[in-house]
Amino acid sequence: MRKKYILQNKLLHDIVKTNKHFINKIVRHDIINLLPYQSARLLHNTQCRQILLNANESPKNHVFHLKVNTFNRYPEPQPQKLKFYYMKYININININNILITRGADEGIELIMRTFCIPYHDAIMFCPPTYGMYQINAQILGVKYYTVKCLCNFQLNLKKIIHKINNYNIKIIYICNPNNPTGNLINKNDIIKLLKFVNNNIIIVLDEAYIEFCHTYTLLKLITQYNNVIVLRTLSKAFGLAGLRCGFIIAYHSIIHTLKKVIAPYPIPQPVSDIAVQALHSSYISIVFDNIKNIIANREWLIRKLKYLNIVKHIYPSVTNYILVEFINVQHVFNYLLKHNIIVRQQNQITQLKNCLRITIGTYHECKQIIVVLQQLLIQ
């Protein structure tokens, strides 16, 4: 019996081995060596007692109920009602042909690249430290990428950006505004200078995933003045619907028309548009904006308290629902928080962010808990 088991096991082992070999022979080389996005949920599998401050989610949950609950038919490819509600919410003078609904802003990032970049020929550009998915999507699609590091105040290095544009085949520039993980806004004048310089030859993507936390600074209006600007939005952050997977692309109508040719036929599941429509009712929007006020108050409270701790070296100013904090002995701080069930996001592996952690602003209780735990660490 035991012998048979060992034999079976060996066979299985051989099959696995040859299969792995076989996969490496047929898969694209870019994928063999790809380090996938280290998403917060992948790194730290949620346990119920944990305080999750690593994915910039909303700490508040709200119970939604489906209005429609039969699913035998395909959904509307681009639910009209949802587009109307989102247009009403953003309140600028555009029409339904300027919006595309996507499976989160992440799908938008990839869709734009797939539509405009020829693999192994065209390139994108972005300015680290910034959101990781621009690079990973480029790697997956075989699109080249060039980077121009932000200045030390995390603003664009326009001189170097323009130098790269002049020398390489750059089709798209991704600008995360406000920037993740640094928490700052990018100077509007720099973005406009860049737009004037690229003169419709390059697409500028403005990723406004966190714009609700500083909504007066949105650059959405630029899409009525420049045909090559694309704005990305999401319901994952301030709207508290990360689990829903719903995002929006807002741009000049012929850009939207072109992206529609590439997007999957039914990208928005019926339950998603059903709930997204409810989330865009004025009653829920006012809840969202109350939550935002609360998060901002908690952020300022947390910053004030952190300043008193001598393990904190620097707190970067933030207009978002997260803060970037430089610590003395960051690894120890990270592990100590983890041991006390507070999960934050490491940034230490990023060259410009040595010794930094990104902390999502949670409820007042969660912010207080951070301070309590860090004070314990100090007196240890």
Ligand X SMILES: *Cc1c(COP(=O)(O)O)cnc(C)c1O
Q: Read out DSSP for 253-291? A: HHHHHHHHHHS-SS-S-HHHHHHHHHHTSHHHHHHHHHH
Using rule CB under 6 A, residue 240 touches ligand X: no
Q: Which two tokens stand for residue 343?
A: 């999960």
Any idea what the Cα angle at residue 162 is, between residues 160 and 163, rounded to 5°?
Answer: 60
Using rule CB under 6 A, residue 106 touches ligand X: yes
The whole-angstrom separation of Cα 54 and Cα 10 is 41
Q: Which two tokens stand for residue 91?
A: 């309140």
Using rule CB under 6 A, residue 122 touches ligand X: no
From the list 17-25, 100-108, 115-123, 212-220, the region that binds ligand X by CB under 6 A is 100-108
Minimum distance, C-beta of residue 375 to ligand X, in the bound complex (Å): 30
Using rule CB under 6 A, residue 135 touches ligand X: no
Of 28, 82, 129, 115, give the one whose Cα is nearest residue 346: 129
Please, are residues 96 and 83 in contact by the beta-carbon 8 Å criterion?
Answer: yes
Residues linked to residue 342 through DSSP beta bridges, in sequence order: 51
Using rule CB under 6 A, residue 131 touches ligand X: yes
Minimum distance, C-beta of residue 88 to ligand X, in the bound complex (Å): 20
Please, are residues 187 and 155 in contact by the beta-carbon 8 Å criterion?
Answer: yes
Minimum distance, C-beta of residue 376 to ligand X, in the bound complex (Å): 31
Using rule CB under 6 A, residue 234 touches ligand X: yes
Site string for ligand X, 173-212 (x = CB under 6 A): ---x---x--------------------------x-x---
Residues in contact with ligand X, total (CB under 6 A)?
13
From the list 21-29, 186-194, 234-242, 341-349, the region that binds ligand X by CB under 6 A is 234-242
Interface ranges with ligand X (CB under 6 A): 56, 104-106, 131, 176, 180, 207, 209, 234, 236, 242, 247
